[in-house]
Structure formats: structure tokens, C-alpha cells
Amino acid sequence: MSLVSTLPASYTQATPPAPVAPRHPQDVTVHEDQRGDDYFWLREKDNPAVRAYLEQENAYTDSVLAPAQELRTRLFTEMRARLQEDDRSAPVPYLGWLYYTRTEKDKQYPIYCRRADRPAAPEEILLDLNVVGAGKPYVAVGQYRVSDDGQRLAYSLDWTGYRQYEVFVLDLATRQPVPQQIGRVADFDWGAGSDVLYYITENEAKRHDKLHRWTLGTGRHELLYTEADELYNLEVARTRDSRYMLCEAASKVTTEVLALRADDATGRFQVLVPRTENHEYHADHRDGLFYFVTNLGAKNSRVMTAPETEPARWTELIPHRPAVKVAALEAFATHLVIHERENGLPRLAVYDCATGKTTRLTLPDEVYELSGNTNWDYRAGEYRFSYQSLARPASVFASNFATGERRLLKENQVLGGFNSADYRTERVWVPVRDGTRVPLSIVSRRDLSRAQPQPLYLYGYGSYGLSLPASFSSTRLSLLDRGLIFVIAHVRGGGELGEDWREAGRMGRKMTTFTDFVDCAQWLVDHGWTTPAQLVVSGGSAGGLLIGAAVNLRPDLFRAAKLDVPFVDVLNTMLDATLPLTTEEYVEWGNPHLPAQYAWMRAYSPYDNLRPAAYPHLLVNVSFFDSQVPYWEGAKYLAKARTLDSGGHALLLHTNFGAGHSGAAGRYDALHDVARDYAFFLGTLGVKQ
């Protein structure tokens, strides 16, 4: 069977539901630009007609995809069969205990456990999400923190997917909960001991704006600091050496850190270095010194130190290297671990505080993902990190600080006869229209012929300076084993090649992100990797913006596109300061109340740039309780696209009524969603088995 045959006719024969005639269409003129919005009414979340319309769209999507039901069932079965369903994470040693999570067959959620760090010690279950979430459509852990004396556990739960968390505290000696819990908590950590908890709350716009202190013994809650600037969010954490509490106020381009001795249960936070526009810095502490990762005079950042008594008196420790982005630093009793990016790849460097010598971890693959694992122990003699590639499952290693010796702690098992040697990974650099070379990360079956074009799945993001990880996915094997090539386009706007890479796809240069993606897709076609009839693409959130803009630019270039929780209604959202997360995004996309910035957003906003065209097959996935990108953005985009499409392809909307921005929380629920999405892609390519 040809992989490029047309989508079965039954995929497009069903009649899509017509939106109820809008009662409140929006006609607005901004900076002399008159824009109408016939689907503005879909924002009315509590309107029964909106819910009914979304449910009708789900029914339509199910009917269109009905011919692929057998394939969808097969995909779910084989993806589940690859899971080690009874599994356990690598135990984390801390204060005489080993902490870990485990899963059990047929149960959706992880179980959080510990046991004493001695042979044959019995297990203690601290939190079983399968019990907590019984009968609920959604439950997810936000944070999980053990006090530094090991006496209490604080954890946060989200019940809808809206990322609105409640914090609970458990006494680990008595196994009894502390009677009081707190809501709308965005971040928290323990002070010294187990009686003081510092926490951040969010306002109605979901901006993390207030820092509090909760003294459990007295039940007293104190408001310590309010961040007035609407561009900034707060985070709070205790340093690994347990000496300081750090509260970071951060916009997308500027930070400021406040500090308080962790054992000072009545004190006030003090600013370490006052904020200066476009100065980003992050702090840690060890042995009487603050350590700073800063971009002051160093676009890709350098490392500085200062005495804790004079935190603004900096001394350079590691100088700026233009080709190396210093992303973060972790301080331990004897060493520093420095997270870097170079040539588009993550790296870990270990700095010996006694000798000043730096050693980099060596890694085996051409394309990979590398990150720190759980490292709670300040006096640890080794560093735990996670490593994986597009063809190699994730593993947890511990690297000895003194010797560099590495030991494997945990390797994720992939069942069903998986062999990483059957797959090939590679890195290709693609010249785009202005001559810049954009990296692609690629994986395919090793036995796949390259003598002729193949079906190809291209994925992208390109925003906020975030780097797309070249990580392993056991579910993706279901596509690779059916002959698809999977490619990540590391387009500008991301952080793969440092701050210049980020700046080249941000604010007034945002269009570069979209043209990079289109140029990468065209290069893959021109160089015989694939054809437009075999090319499917996807992205989520800001990556959904990328896909929506790319499809508008070149609807002829793609066979199908999947947009997950997509940020596609850019202008309407950014013009409404009452929506969550809007005003703080002004320094990422622009402020549309300013004419020049409105103009550049107007040029790419996917919803506003839909036009009569033969669009590819589209699947738009949204979540009803999404706090990051409201469900109506994707719903409006799809409804409008359907009125302008001349290609006769399947244009589908699916709303998840039991999840938020990250999708389903249960592992089996998530697999069902992946199976639906993969069946959509494979159906558009004519793959039925």
C-alpha cells in the first residue's frame, strides 16, 4: 500500500457542525486596523451553547476518524506493551532515607515512597495518587518537598489541569496531615527545620506575585513581599546547603534575587543585586559565598562570586565564552556543576572548588539530551544526571566528583523486542533564506531506504529561549517502525545556540521562527528526504503558533498538521490584559497597544492571517481547563479555517474536558490521546496497518 495515497473518502464525508450564530461578534479597530471576529463568542466558557458546540466537534472528529479505530486500538496496545508497567525510579538518598516513585500495572498514577537507607528496610508509602485521585478525572503533583530535617513532607496537587495548586503537609513520623492547607500556591520550599514553609501565591491573572511565610506551629501566615510589576513572577527555593532562602523575581529578560537566612524565621528578604533592565542573573550559595550566573557584560553568561556579607561585590570565577551558553549552576560542598549549551547541545561541566579545575562529562551520541536528576544532598560525593537520545531510552547515572567514575543507577526498559541499534540518529545543518544554518535532529529506522523520499514527521517550537530536547519516546517507535522519519527543527527563537539564537526569533524578529521552519521543511523536500504529500508537522503551545503560522505561509508544503493547545489567537489574547499570563508576555511577543509592535504581531498571528487556501489536514487539540492557552484559541482558529478551506481535507477539533495545558495526567489516558493523534497522521499518509 502506498504511503502517499489520499486520505480515505470517509474521513471527509461527515458534515462538520456549524457554529451557533454568534450573538456577540466582535468588531474592533486597533491602530486603524479594522478586524472582525465572528467566533469571539467561543470565549464564553460558562455558556451551555459553547460546551455543546465543543462536544459536537468532538463527535464530528470521532466520526471522521472512525475508519482508523482499528489502527488506533492497535497503536494503543503496542505502545502499552512497551511499558515496564511495574517500575520504580532510581532511589534518591537524603538524610538516611531513600526516596522514589513507583508504578503498578493497570494504575494510572505514580506512588511516592521511601524506605530507610539500610538493607531490607520496609517501604513507606507517602502519597498514592491512585488513591488520592480515585473517581476524579484529573490529579497531578506540582511539587514534592521534604523538610531539611526529614520530619515533614509538603506537596501540591492540581485537580483540573488548570495548574491551580493546593499545598498539603504530612507529618512523616505520625503519618498525619497538618490540618491546614493553602490554595493557589505557585511555588514553595521549606526553611530550616520543618516548622516554616515559604510559599508563592498567584493572583487572578495567574501571575505569581506574593511571597508568604507559614509558621506551622502557630498557624501564622505572613505576607513578606508583593511584586508590583506585572511583567514579573516570583519563585522561592532553599539553597542546597540549607543556609539561605532565595526568592527570584523574573520577567522574560530581567531578574532580581532576594535572600534570607533559612534559619531566620522572623526576618525579611533583602535584595542581593538590584534589578536592571535586561540583566538576568541567578544565585546559589556555598561556603560563605554567593555564586551568580549573570549576563552582565556577557551575552551567553559567566559565573561570578561574592561574599555573603557583600553580595554586590562580584569577582569573576568563570569568564564569558561567546560560543558557550551558561544556563545554570548547582553548588555542592566540594564542587560546582555548570549546565552549558554549545553547538546546539547540552553539556555538564564539573568545577573543583579546591583546585579550580573544570572537567566536562563525555557523551557517546551525536545528538542527545542531558539534564540533572534529583540531587538533594549538598555533601554528596557524586552527581546524578539523566541521559538519553532519540534512539536511546533515558538512564540515570551518578558521576563521582573526585574520580569522574560513572555508574548506572537506572535504565528505562522498553519491552517488545526494542533494540536501540535498530535506529539511526543524526544531526544535519540546514541553510535557511538568510544564510543561517539551522540544526535538525533526526531519527529513523536504520534499515529504512534513503534511495527515495519517505514519510516524515517534522516537529518544532522556537520560543522563550527554550531548547527542544532530543529525547527518547517509546510511543514514537510506532511511527518509526511504520517507516516515518522523525525530525526536530531547532529554529530561532529557541535557545539551542545561545542568546543570539533566542533574540533572532523574538519580538520584532519573530517571523524568523516561522520562515526557518518553512525553509527547513522545503530543504527536506528539495534534498529528497520527503515530499509535501508525505510531510506531517506538529507543535504545541507556542509551537502551535509556529505550526499555524507556517501553514498560513505555505499550506501547499504539508500533508497534515497537528496543533496542540496552540497559541494562535495572538492579537486578541495579547490585547486583553485580564487573561492569565498576558501582560508578562509583552517582552516576548510585544505589546499590541503600541502601533509598531501591533504591526509585527498582526503580520503573523495565525488566526488573523487565515485566508482562502487549500489547507492540509488539520487536527487541533485543546484542553477545556487550560490556563496557559485558553481552549477558545484553537477552537476559533479551526472554525475560521474551515470557512476558508478549498482543499476538502479533514479539519478537526478535539477538546479534552478533563485536562489542562499538559494534557491527560493518567499514563493510560495519555497513551489513548497519542494513539488518536498518531492514527490521524498515519491515516493522512494512507497507512492502515
Residues annotated as part of the active site? 541, 626, 661
Question: Residue 604 and residue 571: Cα distance in Å, rounded?
Answer: 10
State the burial class of residue 154 (Cβ atoms within 10 Å of its Cβ: 0-12, 13-18, 19+): buried
Question: Residue 232 and residue 606: Cα distance in Å, rounded?
Answer: 27
Q: Which residue has the cell 524506605?
A: 115
Lateral strand order in the sheet of 140-146: 140-146, 152-158, 165-171, 176-177
Q: How far, rounded to the nearest angstrom, does the alpha carbon of residue 451 sit from its chain's CA centroid? A: 36
For 170, the 3-state DSSP assignment is strand
**In this structure, what are the phi and psi dihedrals at residue 188, rounded to the nearest 5 degrees?**
-165, 160
Question: Residue 367 gets which letter from DSSP?
Answer: S
Lateral strand order in the sheet of 315-318: 281-286, 289-294, 302-307, 315-318
Polymer length in residues for the chain: 689
For 340, the 3-state DSSP assignment is strand
Q: How many CB atoms lie within 10 A of CB 125?
A: 12
Q: Which of 324, 320, 265, 263 is nearest to 295 (CA)?
A: 320
Question: Residue 89 and residue 200: Cα distance in Å, rounded?
Answer: 29
For 322-336, letters b (16+ CB in 10 Å) and e give eebbbbebbbbebbb
Q: What amino acid occupies position 327?
A: A
Question: Residue 530 and residue 546: Cα distance in Å, rounded?
Answer: 20
Residue 28, sorted as left (phi over 0), alpha (psi -120 to 50) or beta, turns out to be beta
Q: What amino acid occupies position 299?
A: K
CA–CA distance from 166 to each of 155, 160, 277, 329 (Å)?
8, 12, 33, 30
- Between CA 289 and CA 292, with CA 291 as vertex, the angle to 5 degrees is 145
Question: Residue 439 and residue 489: Cα distance in Å, rounded?
Answer: 6
H-only helix segments in 67-222 = 69-81, 129-132
For 668, the 3-state DSSP assignment is helix
CA–CA distance from 27 to each of 128, 578, 611, 638 (Å)?
50, 19, 18, 19
Q: Which of 524, 532, 188, 490 is nearest to 343 (CA)?
A: 490
Question: Residue 478 and residue 497: Cα distance in Å, rounded?
Answer: 31
Question: Residue 645 gets which letter from DSSP?
Answer: B
Q: How many helices (H) and strands (E) does the chain have?
A: 13, 39
